[in-house]
Amino acid sequence: MNIHFAQVDNRVHKGRLMVFPSYFLILAFFTICLRGQTIAQQSTAPFSIQTSEITKGWSSNSVNAVIFRKNSLATHKNTQYVAFYDPEERVILAKRKVGKSEWEIHTTQYKGHAADAHNSISIMVDGEGYLHMAWDHHNDTLRYAKSIKPGSLELTEKMSMTGENENSITYPEFHRLPDGDLLFFYRKGESGRGNLIINRYDTGRKTWKQIQNNLIDGEGERNAYWQACVDAKGTIHISWVWRETWDVATNHDLCYARSNDGGITWENSKAEPYKLPIKMGSVEVAFSIPQNSELINQTSMTTDEMGQPVIATYWRDQKTGKPQYHVVYLDNGQWKSQVVYERETRFSLSGGGTKKIPISRPQIVVKEIDQKTRAVMIFRDQERENKPSIALNQDFPSGEWKLIDLLESDLGSWEPTYDTELWKSKGILSLFIQKVEQVDSEGLSDAEPEIVKVFDWDVDSIE
């Protein structure tokens, strides 16, 4: 197991060497950080990250490292699982004991059309230890299988879930409820005219049931691009942007809904019930953002200890004209937003298909430590040389954000995904890491296959 070091950078994109009274102290400090990050002003002591390598994966586009994978990594009890495409587009599963570096690797009987970056693999483990997997979807018939027994990497043949609304699936994702049951979200239909479907898996009966055949209705004129999470009490939170056409530039408005009964009934943040399906005319707009704002779709959300939603995304700041990372959160019944740090690079999201973008979509997690809310946003920014980075706020939302590069490595078009269940159970942020290269409009790069790695670190260790 390799140990790497990270260094804090307080809103400095390219750090300068700190001034020490002795040349030898400088040399010693630099030697310690050779495998670490940018040496920056106002830096603090480094913290360690545990690294484990698995095997080489497909790298010619971002399909292994897109943010809407729910999940790339999943833990049940003391076993962690990972899924990805290898250079031959075969689906690879692997598992290890949490905290160990050795992985048991299994090449499944399945392949996917990895050349389309939409066709990512999503996994989750139910409360009895069965691994569930969905893969290779972009307006396609359901491709779903589960392990033949708890703890196994061997998969069943492809199977149906409910037999309903399974002929045009995109963006499948799993979420585990506190009782061990699973939720399965997906879009039925196409970009600009699609609806959100939700299935629920009963762990005891080992059966799926469709609980929402159209939770968010695009009315044939638009669709919702969502992000979702399940909090400690089992409340399901969803936020989304609307898109009016296939063109990403038509994304607009950040909306919100939650369910306290496993997805059957839904309400807004004021506990006012929604009439289902939810439509644009009746929705709670958490933050109003017009079209043509470089507003990205499918980012991330979480909740604080009180179950209040926290959403990370980006859009163009109206004052500067530059896309900025924003965190939108509910504070005493009011929706608020703050810019994480000031970016300098302008870019446009207009057009369709998967795009090569100079920043990743962000992940967000929060944790209560010493009666303060610690917020961590994980991202990649070309201005930071495409390194995997975090923005850390030790006292969210009142504190300041500090930037930390987790690695020196340029990860190309990587977007962060993490093990939601390991984070919930042990407070360990376990990240899927692989250098990938995306080309605009579903193009393929000539990148050589890159090693898939998993990085683990304890947010409590950050001073």
pLDDT, tens digit, for every residue of 411-437?
999 999 999 999 999 999 999 999 999
> What tens digit of pLDDT does each residue of 254-284 get?
999 999 999 999 999 999 999 999 999 999 9
* Cβ–Cβ < 8 Å for 432, 410: no
- What pLDDT was estimated at residue 206? 97
List domains and CATH numbers for the chain: 50-356+369-376+393-403+413-461 (2.120.10.10)
* Cβ–Cβ < 8 Å for 90, 108: yes
- Helix, strand, coil proportions of the chain in percent (round to 5)? 5, 45, 50
> What tens digit of pLDDT does each residue of 58-87 get?
999 999 999 999 999 999 999 999 999 999
Residue 246 pLDDT > 70, yes or no?
yes
The one-letter code for the residue type at 353 is G
What single string gives the DSSP state of each residue in 298-347?
A: S-EEEE-TT--EEEEEEEE-TTT-SEEEEEEEEETTEEEEEE-S------
What is the mean pLDDT of the segment spanning 300-321?
94
d(CA 279, CA 249): 20
* Cβ–Cβ < 8 Å for 113, 159: no
> Which residue is listed with tokens 């033949």?
148
What is the mean pLDDT of the segment spanning 429-453?
91
d(CA 75, CA 51): 17
> What tens digit of pLDDT does each residue of 378-405 get?
999 999 999 999 999 999 999 999 999 9
- What pLDDT was estimated at residue 39? 28
d(CA 269, CA 285): 10
The closest of 461, 440, 449, 431 to 73, measured between CA atoms, is 431
- What pLDDT was estimated at residue 18? 34
Euclidean distance between the first and the last CA atom of the chain, given in angstroms as a whole number: 23
d(CA 180, CA 178): 5
For residues 356, 409, 68 and 259, what is the CA-based torsion angle, rounded to 10 degrees?
A: -130
- Buried/exposed code over 229-243 (b: 16+ C-beta within 10 A; e: otherwise): bbbeeebbbbbbbbb
- What pLDDT was estimated at residue 19? 34
What single string gives the DSSP state of each residue in 33-90?
A: TTTS----TT----EEEEEEEEEEE--SSSGGG-TT-S-SEEEETTEEEEEEE-TTSE
Q: Which has more pLDDT, 351 or 210? A: 210
* Cβ–Cβ < 8 Å for 165, 188: yes
What is the mean pLDDT of the segment spanning 169-184?
97
- What pLDDT was estimated at residue 29? 36
Q: Cis before residue 78, ω within 30 degrees of 0?
A: no
Least confident of 8-22, 180-194, 376-390, 392-406: 8-22
Residue 217 pLDDT > 50, yes or no?
yes
- Token couple for 95: 């598992």
Residue 337 pLDDT > 90, yes or no?
yes
pLDDT band of 295, cuts 50, 70, 90: very high
* Cβ–Cβ < 8 Å for 39, 33: yes
Residue 224 pLDDT > 80, yes or no?
yes
Least confident of 168-177, 355-364, 433-442: 433-442
